[in-house]
Amino acid sequence: MGIKENVERIKSLLPEGVTLVAASKSRTPEEILEAHRAGVGIFGENYVQELLAKYDKIGKRVEWHFIGHLQRNKVKKIVGVVDMIQTLDNLKLAEELEKRFSKVNRIIEVLIEVNIAREPQKAGVLPEDVIPFVKDVSEGFSYIKIKGLMTMGPVVDDPEKLRPLFRETKKLFDRIRDMGIKNADMEILSMGMSDSFLIAVEEGANMVRIGTAIFGKRLF
């Protein structure tokens, strides 16, 4: 099946209220625009240089989310380009976001990345540190708006193994939402990828990040 058919199939599987983000790392602008014509409005990029190259050709025809590890020295390059950063996980990055976005008097929406499986090699805030981190960001920065949480599950042979991790993230999400922390609108729970998005949705995700199931396997 082609990109159009893949998008239509995935959208038919998603309940109302679940937002589809096409993970477009290594995809061409032509592929992105094909997915956009098929009904995808948001595209997630992992690398700043790659994002900027695509933005030069596509611009604001689509919404851009940053879904990879963001280095502080690259923040200034994506001001005015990205609509959301899904991977805020440390105060140094928050300080840089505040510095750069305050200069253009614009608030940047973010998700807090949670390292729910406590993988030492992965980015993200450890579960027990998420609530203090949310409080620090919400109280300490005027140009950052927390919109929810994001998690990346570990690589597993059976996506069902991710279910308890997704469930734990949803419990954390609900707990923070019920606390009513100022400047933290807990609206988005971004979980699930091509092989696990249906399980993630069953466990409460209302945003999924899907690449391979839309575009096919990457060539590099």
Mean pLDDT of 15-29: 97
Question: Percent of the chain scored above 90 by pLDDT?
Answer: 97
End-to-end CA distance of the chain: 20
Regarding the domain delimited by 3-215, which CATH topology (the fold level of the hierarchy) does it fall under?
TIM Barrel (3.20.20)
The three-class DSSP label of residue 89 is coil
CA distance 126 to 145: 20
pLDDT for res 1: 81
pLDDT (0 to 100) of residue 87: 98
Rounded to an integer, what distance in angstroms lies between the CA atom of residue 25 and that of residue 194? 14
pLDDT at 217: 86
Tokens of 172: 């954390």
Q: Which residues of 105-132 are buried (b: 16+ CB within 10 A; e: fewer)?
A: eeebbbbbbbbbbeeeeeebbebeebbe
Render pLDDT for 121-159 as a digit per residue (tens, 0 to 9).
999 999 999 999 999 999 999 999 999 999 998 999 999
pLDDT above 70: residue 220? no
* Token code pair at residue 11: 């959208």
For the entire predicted model, the pTM comes to: 0.96
Please state, rounded to an integer, the average pLDDT across all residues of the chain.
97
Query: Is residue 197 scored above 90 in pLDDT?
Result: yes
CB atoms inside a 10 Å sphere around CB 5: 10
How far, in Å, CA of 151 to CA of 118, rounded?
11
216 to each of 15, 22, 29, 107, 133, how far by Cα in Å?
23, 12, 15, 35, 37
Those residues whose C-beta lies under 8 Å from the C-beta of residue 25, and which sit 6 or more positions away, are: 44, 45, 46, 47, 50, 68, 211, 218
- Band of residue 219 on the pLDDT scale cut at 50, 70, 90: low
